[in-house]
Amino acid sequence: KEKHKILHQLLQNSTSPVDL
Amino acid sequence: PEAADLRALSRLLYDSYVKHFPLTKAKARAILSGKTGDSSPFIIHDMKSLMDGEQLINCKQIPGRDQHPSPAVLADNYGVVAGHPAPGYGGLGGLSQGPIGLSHQGRTEGLELRFFYSCQSRSAEAVREVTEFAKSIPGFVDLDLNDQVTLLKYGVIEVLTLRMAPLMNKDGTLMSYGQIFMTREFLKSLRKPFCQMLEPKFEFSVKFNTLELDDSDLALFLAVVILSGDRPGLLNVRPIERLQETVLHSLELHLKVNHPDSMQLFAKLLQKMTDLRQIVTDHVHLIQLLDKTEVDMCLHPLLQEILKDLY
């Protein structure tokens, strides 16, 4: 999970703007 | 009843595609063929025009859309729209910093590098858009979360490559929500290995565009690509294959109705998936080469995640 932290975030947060 | 379900699925995926990828093929082709009235794109064909077009490259807003878009509503081409560098990724300058204070050679080299960083930022944003599209595929979010990650990790660059095709013709590509047209010759004139990055996409796109797919066809095809059950490391393949089978049926039916005179279009389209995998493999190797050879190379954290241990 740590290896793909941002992908996990993108998949789980539908609206929050992930820090890109 | 089954055909009605399949049509409903194609409609749902098309609506999601339009929602998440605002620069559709229809819009891109209108721009490329000069059918948008007086709003023709700014042409970048050399370093000077690249410098002149920096402001446009930097623009994150879709022309003619909401003047105050939310951070989540950004356009969709896999081009050059600078994002905000994430922590640990900045430091080398976004396009907004400008080339001031560099020698002429430094200016153009700096510009090349900044252009590359802009491409990365835009790609990261495009990954987010593809993720949202994937989540809208019925059944996708019910898959094992680790498998969702794997499908995105392996599928997203293929999808981004497909998303580029409508923006390209044999002479160049649209970027920045269609505000810029960058010539193929200019991209080929960049120093190695930057000049090698887009040329295979042009070759693929010119051939792919002869299939004359429209946005509704593409929406289904993107979903098929995402739902590939043979990605390495998948934990539970069967539900993915079942989902893909349904979308494949929907695509086959849709192509028959939408392209009644195009023989074997479904088969021709499926064959493109092999080409796509090769393009992505070569692309990943180029990025890995850049990572090793460029002193100032800094990969976007999201792209690092995707590229790590990928092929």
SS percent in chain B: helix, strand, coil, step 5: 60, 5, 35
Per-residue pLDDT of chain A (20 residues; tens, 9 = 90+): 678 999 999 999 854 444 55
More confidently predicted of B105 and B123: B123
Question: What pLDDT shows up at residue B2?
Answer: 86
**Per-residue pLDDT tens over the stretch B73-82:** 223 332 333 3
Measured distance CA(B237)–CA(B147) in Å, rounded: 9
- List chain B residues with CB under 8 Å of A12: 145
Measured distance CA(B157)–CA(B127) in Å, rounded: 8
Chain mean pLDDT for chain B: 84
Task: Please give the average per-residue pLDDT across B148-171, as a whole number.
Answer: 97
Upper half-sphere CA count for residue B310 (Cβ side, 13 Å): 29
Quick one: pLDDT band at residue B176, thresholds 50, 70, 90? confident
Task: Please give the average per-residue pLDDT across B241-245, as a whole number.
Answer: 98
Indicate yes or no: CB of B149 within 8 angstroms of CB of A11: yes
Question: What pLDDT shows up at residue B309?
Answer: 87
**Per-residue pLDDT tens over the stretch B49-93:** 998 887 777 665 555 444 333 333 223 332 333 333 333 343 333
CA dihedral B169, B259, B78, B37 (to 10 degrees): 60
Query: Is the complex ipTM higher than 0.85?
Result: no
Determine contact: A20 vs chain B, CB below 8 A: yes
Task: Please give the average per-residue pLDDT across B141-148, as a whole number.
Answer: 97
Question: What pLDDT shows up at residue B75?
Answer: 31
Indicate yes or no: CB of A20 within 8 angstroms of CB of B145: no
- Measure the CA angle with vertex B252, ends B246 and B253; round to 5°: 90
CB interface of B with A, residues 272-311, below 8 Å: 300-302, 305-306, 308
